[in-house]
């Protein structure tokens, strides 16, 4: 079966627009909210090193493969996989890749939107001067009170989901394309400003040592899986987001160099965020392992002390919301494009329905931040009483479960199968033709990596996390 030359959903106007959109998808809460807090939880330097290795050896090769599949298939991930497997005469089971990606997108967006809602709320809180002169304890208390009030979180989650659905309904290409062009550079400027502030007033060297001086005694097997999972999460890989963006990429545009640029930009933003946050953490005696609340407890403190802090802080959270927004739309695009293709739904209807489902799922995560565990939810549904679970799944919150399941399991598995499909199922000729790399040596290097190094690494990390290898 021959593949189409262009997608029915349209096409990016240039390679630069694709790079901006994909960077918009990649740079988001993952870089500024999640990277610092998981680095803090897993002891710093050694974790960062493993993460950087995963970006280079797993992330970039898979990103090239995922964009390549998208551009060759030119449809939603599910239909792209279907037409590619027909073209290559492969087993029908490969279409599961598209399905699992679509489900991962729903699950991630459901909690992503709740956290983006926090950032929205903090635009107004910081902008109104709430944190001026506040102490570290004061800032933590304000956050604790906010995160523990489900109705407020629901309001902000609802607002963010509405914003996301509006852009997706209008078509990803119009609207946000323009915004991303200006907002991404602006975010970078404020981040640099924050790093400057951290240099001047925080414990900068302590922060930098924490981030870049590896202490391998603090790295356990679980941390390696989290670092690898985060490489997928932060680059938006393994679930079809980057594949669907690749399906709108013009034929002539070079895929490999675009992927490298996107990954470098994404990594730079994460490292800058870490360099802004940890000096403030150590300079104020805060807890590096504070978890998901980390940036909401550290940055307001800085904004409360610096001149023009309320204005700069308000602006920072506006930009963070935009970064989250451009990621959120890419999380739901695989599902919407599939509904338009297969069900004949209009974009507006498809976005409304997917948005409503995601919004409802998100409610389960909202209660996680008041300390409600899976066991509490089950007991309240069946109407029983029981001892609080001491550990395991039942003692986890819905947010923790969804985050673990998607970032550490579903995305790496999706990525593994993308690498296997590109490296072993597709014919070398199709792959070479689609990538059209100028240097045969680079092609061989990438192809060798994606066929062997990348899949082997992903499998090894999985095996070590479940204790099959390397356990004490
Ligand atoms: N990469 C985004 C971030 O770092 O915030 C999150 C994300 C977007 C993950 C799209 C997965 C995805 F498909």
Ligand 1 atom closest to Cα of residue 240: 13
Distance (Å) of CA 142 to CA 2, 34, 126: 58, 20, 11
**How much of the chain exceeds pLDDT 70, in percent?**
96
Contacts for 107 with CB less than 8 Å, ≥ 6 apart: 361, 402, 405, 406, 410
Distance CA(461)–CA(89), nearest Å, equals: 31
Is a pLDDT exceeding 80 seen at residue 285?
A: yes
Distance (Å) of CA 110 to CA 54, 359, 379: 26, 6, 22
Ligand 1 atom closest to Cα of residue 330: 10
DSSP code of 293? G
Rounded distance from Cα 327 to ligand 1 centre (Å): 6
Is a pLDDT exceeding 70 seen at residue 4?
A: no
> What's this model's pTM, rounded to 2 decimal places?
0.94
pLDDT for res 2: 41
Rounded distance from Cα 66 to ligand 1 centre (Å): 14
Q: What is the pLDDT of residues 295-351, one digit of tens each?
A: 999 999 988 988 888 988 898 899 899 899 989 999 998 899 899 989 999 999 999
Rounded distance from Cα 433 to ligand 1 centre (Å): 29
Q: Whose CA is nearest to atom 13 of ligand 1?
A: 236
The CATH class of the 15-465 domain is mainly alpha
Q: Whose CA is nearest to atom 7 of ligand 1?
A: 236
Ligand 1 atom closest to Cα of residue 324: 5
Q: Whose CA is nearest to atom 9 of ligand 1?
A: 236
Task: Report residues whose beta carbon is within 6 angstroms of any ligand 1 atom.
Answer: 25-26, 28-31, 108, 233-234, 236, 239, 241, 327, 330-331
Distance CA(80)–CA(193), nearest Å, equals: 43
Q: Whose CA is nearest to atom 10 of ligand 1?
A: 236
Q: What is the pLDDT of residues 14-49, one digit of tens each?
A: 888 889 889 999 999 999 999 999 999 999 999 999
Q: For the chain, what are the domain ranges?
A: 15-465
Q: Whose CA is nearest to atom 11 of ligand 1?
A: 236
Rounded distance from Cα 306 to ligand 1 centre (Å): 31
**How much of the chain exceeds pLDDT 90, in percent?**
67
Ligand 1: residue of 236, 320, 413 to mutate (most ligand atoms within 8 A of CB) is 236
By the 10 Å C-beta count (0-12 exposed, 13-18 middle, 19+ buried), 202 is classed as buried
């Amino acid at each position: 079966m021959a593949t189409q030359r262009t997608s029915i959903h349209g096409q990016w106007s240039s390679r630069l627009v694709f790079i901006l959109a994909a960077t918009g998808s990649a740079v988001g809460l993952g870089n500024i909210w999640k990277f610092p807090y998981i680095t803090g939880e897993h002891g710093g330097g050694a974790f960062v090193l493993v993460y950087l290795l995963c970006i280079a050896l797993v992330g970039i090769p898979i990103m090239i493969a995922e964009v390549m599949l998208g551009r060759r298939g030119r449809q939603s991930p599910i239909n792209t996989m279907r037409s590619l497997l027909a073209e290559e005469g492969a087993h029908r089971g490969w279409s599961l890749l598209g399905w699992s990606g679509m489900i991962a997108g729903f699950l991630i967006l459901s909690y992503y939107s709740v956290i983006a809602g926090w950032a929205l709320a903090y635009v107004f809180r910081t902008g109104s001067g709430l944190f001026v002169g506040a102490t570290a304890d004061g800032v933590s208390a304000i956050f604790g009170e906010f995160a523990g009030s489900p109705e407020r979180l629901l309001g902000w989650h609802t607002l963010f989901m509405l914003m996301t659905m509006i852009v997706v309904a209008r078509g990803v290409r119009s609207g946000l394309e323009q915004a991303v062009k200006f907002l991404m550079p602006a975010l970078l400027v404020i981040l640099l400003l924050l790093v400057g502030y951290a240099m001047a007033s925080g414990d900068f060297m302590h922060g930098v040592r924490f981030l870049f001086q590896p202490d391998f005694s603090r790295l356990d097997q679980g941390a390696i899986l989290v670092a690898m999972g985060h490489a997928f999460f932060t680059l938006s890989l393994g679930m079809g987001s980057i594949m669907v963006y690749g399906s709108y990429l013009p034929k002539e545009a070079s895929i490999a160099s675009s992927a490298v640029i996107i990954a470098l930009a994404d990594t730079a933003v994460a490292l800058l965020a870490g360099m802004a946050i940890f000096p403030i953490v150590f300079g104020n005696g805060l807890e590096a392992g504070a978890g998901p609340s980390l940036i909401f407890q550290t940055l307001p403190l800085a904004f409360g002390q610096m001149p023009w802090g309320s204005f700069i802080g308000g602006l920072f959270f506006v930009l963070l919301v935009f970064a989250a927004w451009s990621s959120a739309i890419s999380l739901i695009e695989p599902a919407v494009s599939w509904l338009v293709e297969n069900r004949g739904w209009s974009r507006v209807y498809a976005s409304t329905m997917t948005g409503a489902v995601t919004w409802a799922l998100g409610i389960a995560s909202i209660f996680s931040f008041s300390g409600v565990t899976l066991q509490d939810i089950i007991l309240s549904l069946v109407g029983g009483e029981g001892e609080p679970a001491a550990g395991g799944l039942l003692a986890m919150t819905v947010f923790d479960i969804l985050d673990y399941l998607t970032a550490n399991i579903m995305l790496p598995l999706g990525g593994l199968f993308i690498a296997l499909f590109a490296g072993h199922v597709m014919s070398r000729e199709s792959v070479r033709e689609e990538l059209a790399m100028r240097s045969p040596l680079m092609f061989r290097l990438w192809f060798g990596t994606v066929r062997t190094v990348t899949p082997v690494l992903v499998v090894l990390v999985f095996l070590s996390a479940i204790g099959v290898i390397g356990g004490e």
